[in-house]
Structure 1
Amino acid sequence: MKAIIYRDNGSPDVLQLVERDRPAPGPGEVRVRVAVSGVNPTDWQARSGIAHRKLFPEITPHLDGAGVIDAVGECVDPGRVGQRVWLFMAAAGRPTGTAAEFTVVPADQAVPLPDEASFDVGASLGVPALTAHRALTVAEDGPRRLYPGALDGKIVLAAAGAGAVGHAVIQLARWAAATVISTVSSPEKAKLATAAGAHHVINYREGDPAAAVRAIAPDGVDIVAEVALGANLALDLAVLRTRGTIATYANEGGQTVELNVGQNMVLNTRLQFLVLYTAGPQARATAVEDVAAAVRDGALPVGEERGLPLVRFPLHRTADAHRALETGTVGKVLVDVTP
């Protein structure tokens, strides 16, 4: 089979297209013929070495993807062969991710994908959708599960609504009946956030964005899903309601944040940091169940007309896919693996 591998951390140039034996699933595992591989910032950060140390002599990257189960190991229902699935965390603690024609994952990390949902949708779920779910379910007085009506009466601020996670926050929050505000940095990105389903979109580079948010939510927002905590903290605190939650899944532009302790004490701010790797198996399992339900309801479509442009590369150009993501390409970067 064809696979992308790297043996050393470094630039995208360390990625190589090679031939490898088709892997065999072990007990509790399934083998998936990968159709589309999704690329996330975590993938290039792992390749570059800035995310964590390299654990294996040779690694096939990418956590997310979609395809068809073609073999199962012991203790897995053989009826799953032929099932369309979406994959998450395929390369987490394992040497083989989805940038290959076949990959092997634990059976519960291959989630059934409805026939009406494309492989593009499946490959775009994983990290973005599960992260968005986590951000929307950590508030002190909010739900721990998402379903239609779960966030009724709540106001969610999705920072960077044109990004993959921001897009998923908007869609899941809308599905759960929240009022959704999104902040963006340009008119082009405003169109994408609106297409994703945001009720209100605010360009934070124009006028007074805090006043604009407060005009919509005079009592403040309940949950902020944040991608750039250091840059946006002042705005977040200016619009957060008392006992509101800032759920931050990244800090684009820096790794340190200064907190005004008194201000946050008075607000009773809940500042929740989150990453899927350490969220715990129960949080991940419930997120998978809820995201799968949203997919069945058709609540997580992709494509430019749905607010998330798809930027595609063939398998042999996976290095270019990484470069595109690293240089700030807007949209979801996908690698087409097999027809």
Structure 2
Amino acid sequence: MRAVEYSRPGDPGVLTLVDRPDPEPGPGEVLVRVRRSGVNPTDWKSRRSGPADDQGRIDPPQVPGQDGAGEIVAVGEGVNPTRVGHRVWIWEAAWQRKDGTAQELCRVPVAQAVGLPEDVSFDAGAALGIPFLTAHRCLTVTEGGPDELGPGALAGRTVLVSGGAGAVGNAAIQLARWSDATVISTVSSPAKAQLAVAAGADHVINYRDQDAAAEIRKLAPRGVDTVVEVAAAVNADLDVAVIAPHATVAVYADDGTPLTVPVRPLMTPNARWQFVLVYTAPAAAKARAVSAVSVALAEGAIRVGEAAGLPLHHFPLDQAAAAHQAVEDGIVGKVLIDLD
């Protein structure tokens, strides 16, 4: 089978297209014929950072790709054989494992291959994983809020999504609207504003042209209950200015800039700053997220593509380096690697 791997950390040039023996699923695993592999920022960050041995090597080589979609073609011991042939979406394939989704056949634990409805594309399935599980975690860490999303779960609450044109921002908007929140999103351009509106945001504010804090307070005089934050260091003052009592700022990204927050203004509302990395989130929280995303998908509440605010960018497997470079360069939308 064809696969992309890297045997040392570095820029996208370390990615190599190779032929590998077809893998066999182990106990509790399924083997998926991957049709689409999703590329996330953590993929290129992991590729650049290793881990490597004293000689700078990664042995065995790492196949990148946490997310994907395809069909189960074989099952390991202890897995119901009727799952063969099922369409699935994959999450966290490469977390603490060497088998990511950037290969034609991928082994994953059975719980990480989730049923994909027949009317949902492989494009959509490969776009779920890390972005939607991250968004679910961000939206369910607020005091007094729900543990799991669904219709009515966020009714009466206001959510601020920073960077609504990004993959996690798009996922947060879609899941929050499905759960009946009022959604405000901040963006940096008219084009990104259109994407946030397409995703379902009720209100969109271009922070380059408007006083974001003043506009948010007009829309939510009591303040916002949850902030889904992509740029905590830059937006800390804004977040403090617009939070409601007992609000949470859920931070899911890091650009390396130190974060400074004023203590007293956060004490008064009993505010919470919650840092989110889906890979190390509690197992129960991830299980609830997978369940909620599956329900939303079945109900038609999750969409992808330009009309859903998430442009798709396709690359063949032999151009995986270009796919990684596009994500590293901050392309707007979702990057997918095609394997069929």
TM > 0.5 fold call = yes
Q: What does the per-residue CA deviation read over 1:80-129, in whole Å, with 9 as the maximum and x for residues that have no partner?
A: 00000000000011101000000000000000000111001000000000
Instruction: Report the TM-score, using the length of structure 2 for normalisation.
Output: 0.97
Q: Does 1:279 align with 2:281?
A: yes
Q: Which residue of 1 aligns with 2:20?
A: 20
Structure 1, unpaired ranges of 5+: none
Q: Which residue of 1 aligns with 2:118?
A: 115
Q: Which residue of 1 aligns with 2:2?
A: 2
1:212 to 210, 215, 227: 215
| Structure 2 CA distance for aligned equivalents of residues 276 and 242 of structure 1 | 26
Offset, 1:251: 2.5
Task: Tell whether the 8 Å contact from 2:8 to 2:52 is kept in structure 1 after alignment.
Answer: no
Q: Give SS of 1:180's match.
A: strand
Q: Which residue of 2 aligns with 1:37?
A: 37
- Count of aligned pairs: 336
Task: Tell whether the 8 Å contact from 2:237 to 2:261 is kept in structure 1 after alignment.
Answer: no
Task: Tell whether the 8 Å contact from 1:225 to 1:248 is kept in structure 2 after alignment.
Answer: yes
Q: Which residue of 2 aligns with 1:315?
A: 317
Q: Give SS of 2:268's match.
A: helix
| Structure 1 CA distance for aligned equivalents of residues 261 and 177 of structure 2 | 31
Q: Write out the 4+ residue segments of structure 1 that deviate beyond 4 Å after TM superposition.
A: 52-56
Offset, 1:174: 0.4
| Structure 2 CA distance for aligned equivalents of residues 153 and 249 of structure 1 | 24
Q: Which residue of 2 aligns with 1:152?
A: 155
Task: Tell whether the 8 Å contact from 1:41 to 1:325 is kept in structure 2 after alignment.
Answer: yes
| Structure 2 CA distance for aligned equivalents of residues 56 and 210 of structure 1 | 50
Q: Does 1:63 align with 2:66?
A: yes
Question: Which one-letter code corresponds to 1:249 in the other structure?
Answer: Y
Q: Give SS of 2:238's match.
A: helix
Q: Does 1:80 align with 2:83?
A: yes
| Structure 1 CA distance for aligned equivalents of residues 52 and 110 of structure 2 | 26
Task: Tell whether the 8 Å contact from 1:310 to 1:332 is kept in structure 2 after alignment.
Answer: yes
Q: Which residue of 2 aligns with 1:236?
A: 239
| Structure 2 CA distance for aligned equivalents of residues 128 and 320 of structure 1 | 21
Task: Tell whether the 8 Å contact from 1:219 to 1:241 is kept in structure 2 after alignment.
Answer: yes
Structure 2, unpaired ranges of 5+: none
Q: Does 1:95 align with 2:102?
A: no
Offset, 1:57: 2.6
Q: Which residue of 2 aligns with 1:136?
A: 139
Task: Tell whether the 8 Å contact from 2:154 to 2:181 is kept in structure 1 after alignment.
Answer: yes
Task: Tell whether the 8 Å contact from 1:56 to 1:95 is kept in structure 2 after alignment.
Answer: no
Q: Which residue of 1 aligns with 2:297?
A: 295
Greater CA drift, 278-287 or 184-193: 278-287
| Structure 1 CA distance for aligned equivalents of residues 145 and 325 of structure 2 | 38
Greater CA drift, 237-246 or 35-44: 237-246
Q: CA RMSD of the aligned region, Å?
A: 1.1
Q: Give SS of 2:36's match.
A: strand
Task: Tell whether the 8 Å contact from 2:33 to 2:70 is kept in structure 1 after alignment.
Answer: yes
